[in-house]
Amino acid sequence: MNDIGLSAKSYVIDLAAQHGIRYQETPADRLAVVATRLAGDEVVTDEIEDLIVALKRAQLITGTQMVELLGRYLDETLPVTSRGKPENDAIPGDVLE
């Protein structure tokens, strides 16, 4: 992950292409989707997030690198308004009295 000039998306696509990596859903992935839905939530990943998982499964990146890439990618793609201060203006660590 030393291609500083590349976006996370470009880095992931390039690395996957160099090694012929494609995401393939596993039975565990399908189970996770069902379990998440049953818990009342829904997680929708895009093709770049899936490629990052595939790179980890292929042992081309470490778990730490996977988390860093996912974070960097989400920082680059999510609108600023969806990140930042919590809606209730709570500061992490605040204790309710």
Q: Which pLDDT score, from 0 to 100, does residue 64 have? A: 97
Listed by start position, the domains of the chain span 8-78
Q: Which pLDDT score, from 0 to 100, does residue 25 have? A: 94
Q: Which pLDDT score, from 0 to 100, does residue 83 have? A: 54
Q: Along the chain (97 residues), what's the average pLDDT of each consecutive run of 10 residues?
A: 78 97 95 93 92 97 97 90 55 52
pTM, rounded to two decimals? 0.75
Question: How far, in Å, are 15, 17, 59, 65, 77 from residue 83 at the CA level?
Answer: 28, 31, 30, 21, 11
Give the tokens for residue 58: 């292929």
**Cα–Cα distance for residue pair 97/90, rounded to 1 Å:** 13
Q: Which pLDDT score, from 0 to 100, does residue 84 have? A: 57
